[in-house]
């Protein structure tokens, strides 16, 4: 009789949703509460976009962007409980949230070669730790088999106001339309995901609601 393969030692909690839905805050607080690593997959798409713009490559030129991917080293890691991203040893830091990146990241994220490369790196985190990963396709494409999936949403006015409060210039409606309509891994509510609308939640009540969903999905949550 062949022995059962040992179960995967690590698991992923998938948090997906549109821009400014509150998923980053939720993912960070869940990771803190559950003692997991929080992985911001959007930062990876933003870092590639940063490098494309640095190199003066036209974001619409998918061939040139794919060529760039072959020349650069993408370093994914973590600092404490938060994921980090560097390209050729440089962490772009706050530049990742700038207007130019907000305006071009959806075009870069729609390029299949970019997604292929980043999805491998995203899955790589599980070799080292259990994670809460936030993004657009985490429950549908990156970790479709995880039982722990939440789709975070909020009214469009609430989301726009949140971006404004952060002092960011970001046409979220345009970005959401591009992220939802693209062919490669569009933003969808993944099979098995529970929708959490944060429009009328405080941060604390949103975290409590998310913990309740994860409990219902079978996650053993230590009270505290």
Interface residues with ligand DC (CB under 6 A)?
19, 41-42, 45-46, 105-106, 109, 135-138, 175, 179
Shortest Å, Cβ 56 to ligand DC = 21
Contact present, 205 and 132 (Cβ < 8 Å): no
Q: What CA–CA distance (Å, rounded) separates 199 from 202?
A: 9
Q: What CA–CA distance (Å, rounded) separates 110 from 61?
A: 12
Please, which residue, 169 or 221, has the CB nearer to ligand DC? 169
Shortest Å, Cβ 19 to ligand DC = 5
Rg (CA), the chain: 17
Please, which residue, 157 or 216, has the CB nearer to ligand DC? 157
Please, which residue, 36 or 179, has the CB nearer to ligand DC? 179
Please, which residue, 175 or 201, has the CB nearer to ligand DC? 175
Shortest Å, Cβ 187 to ligand DC = 7
Q: What CA–CA distance (Å, rounded) separates 46 from 109?
A: 9
Shortest Å, Cβ 58 to ligand DC = 18
Shortest Å, Cβ 45 to ligand DC = 4
Shortest Å, Cβ 148 to ligand DC = 16
Please, which residue, 13 or 224, has the CB nearer to ligand DC? 13
Please, which residue, 85 or 207, has the CB nearer to ligand DC? 85
């Amino acid at each position: 009789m062949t022995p059962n393969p040992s179960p995967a030692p690590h698991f992923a909690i998938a948090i997906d949703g549109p821009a400014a839905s509150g998923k980053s805050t939720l993912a960070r607080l869940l990771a803190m509460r559950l003692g997991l690593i929080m992985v911001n997959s959007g930062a990876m798409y933003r870092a590639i976009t940063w490098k494309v713009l640095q190199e003066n490559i036209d974001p619409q030129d998918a061939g040139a962007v794919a060529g760039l991917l072959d020349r650069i080293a993408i370093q994914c890691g973590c600092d404490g409980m938060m994921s980090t991203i560097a390209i050729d040893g440089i962490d772009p830091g706050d530049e990742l949230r700038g207007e130019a990146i907000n305006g071009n990241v959806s075009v870069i994220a729609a390029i299949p070669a970019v997604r292929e490369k980043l999805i491998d790196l995203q899955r790589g985190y599980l070799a080292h730790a259990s994670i809460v990963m936030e993004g657009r396709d985490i429950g549908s494409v990156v970790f479709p088999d995880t039982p722990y999936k939440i789709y975070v949403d909020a009214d469009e006015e609430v989301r726009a106001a949140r971006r404004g409060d952060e002092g960011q210039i970001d046409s979220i409606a345009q970005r959401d339309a591009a992220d939802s309509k693209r062919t490669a891994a569009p933003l969808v509510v993944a099979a098995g995901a529970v929708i959490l609308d944060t429009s009328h939640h405080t941060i604390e009540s949103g975290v409590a609601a998310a913990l309740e969903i994860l409990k219902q999905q079978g996650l053993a949550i230590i009270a505290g």
